[in-house]
Structure 1
Amino acid sequence: MATANAATMVPPGNRNSVQPDIPGASSRRTQATNTSFQAKYRKVYALLQNDAELRAKIRKVAAAYDIDPMHIVGAIVGEHTYNVDAYDRLQTYYVKAMSYLSSKLTFAYEGEDVSDFVERPQFQKCAGITDSYDLWECREQVWNHSFRGKTVGGTSFPNDRFGATFFQPYYAGQTFGLGQLNPLTALQMSDLVHKVSGLPELDVNDPNTVYNTIMDPDLTLPYVAATIRKSIDAYNSIAGFDISHNPGLTATLYNVGNPEQRAYALEEENEKRRAAGEA
């Protein structure tokens, strides 16, 4: 295994000979809001440049999770450039956070609450897992193998991600807040954030608090850092690559998600290359 040796350090920078195509969904979203990637980049850059308090918060939370602050900056800039516009002022995020406390939100599909859904017998293999990350990863795998795009017990389930199906009360694919987190990611990171930052553990039966946590900058930054920390650890322990010096790569993983699956796929590909004498 790659982990038997020291991890290969991935230096900073982008070594693509040409810029990869921007995903179509990102382009369509940007066109629909009558803006441009350049304008969205300038907006989030200005937010960070003009708010010394925000920069100080980023440095503090980065130190707690033992990552370079640029990883958090990269994730925020990437999300707000290719996903949605940043608000002009940090205060707007606090106001939005308060609004979610007064809403009536549910995590459900076709009237079935996710807390009931995961009690189905297909999820039995996840029953003994206590760590929030491993638990929700297990449940997501069960969704992919047993429900995604299938009809089970008379209910037809969409060929879509677990998070988009059960954890988007407004519309599928929506992410929120300064870190553009989705609720499933927040639930996965709950134990790590509780351990490192001392924040209360999130409860899937309390969607309003989950959304408030995502929207409140003081609460969401530890979740951003924890998500990045998980990606760095996954690539190190699974694929044998140290990506802790490449914020461009961690920002990409932050955007696309599923770092462990991607790390396993990378290690599998590298094993094939080594077996073929191409390493």
Structure 2
Amino acid sequence: MVRAAADRPGLVGAVGDFLGRRGANITTLDQYSTAGEFGVFFQRTEFELPGLVDSIDELASDFEHEVAGPLDLTFRVVEAARRKRTAIMVSRYDHCLMDLLWRARRGELDIDVSMVISNHPDLEESVAQFGVPFEHIPVPRGGKAAAELSQLSLLAEKVDLVVLARYMQIISADFLEQLRCPVINIHHSFLPAFVGADPYRRAKERGVKLVGATAHYVTADLDEGPIIDQDVVRVSHRDDTTELARRGADVERLVLSRAVALHAADRVARLGNSTIVF
């Protein structure tokens, strides 16, 4: 992934020329600019290069010296075959968790689930069926700081991604700073209109015609982080609160799995509080 602060002629050619001189075969190339000339430029390139696994650091160093430095680019080079070490955090709702574990086991997601962390013990037996370690870390009233320290001892520098699969605790800014890896969250799209308890009951009372979900990166601003994926399904006055919640759970599963898949495939670039998704 390449990013330039200002789009201008020659950027695509410079990247292609560098890879070509090293014998790389470009298999996929996608690009986007936020505006015409001088817009923020993004490029995602997939390429094949024999021996890359052993020389990826050298390639990145050469690219910085020959291309990125002179053209004021930021970039990252990743090995596509390297699966993201992923931890899932959950409370009591299991629909998103079980969907991720199932898809990961089937090879539908480029992730290796290292562990599941929960503030409740309820889902331990369900997780055990997948051979994934389950860590129960309670979060008692007044004990959030201690709980986050315990979580960080398991996560920091040991995983590439954390997924909040309906983890019903607020993540602190200090936790995010020390974790030093992306965190993806899922929530129903009633926020902020139906924030808090019983959102589907209150949605039913308002006569909603759509229920949906949003997957986003977690920031210190809680649910205001950059959005990765969203979706909705239509509902009607005939659907009771239970049916609204069931349909909401379905769309949450789908949206979260798509967001994790996109991130794991390095298809998401951040731009301020927004995202470019290739």
The TM-score bracket by the shorter chain reads under 0.3
Larger Rg: 2
Structure with greater proportional helix content? 1
Structure with greater proportional strand content? 2
Which structure carries more relative contact order (alpha carbon 8 Å, separation 6+)?
1
Q: TM-score, normalised by structure 1?
A: 0.26
Q: TM-score, normalised by structure 2?
A: 0.26
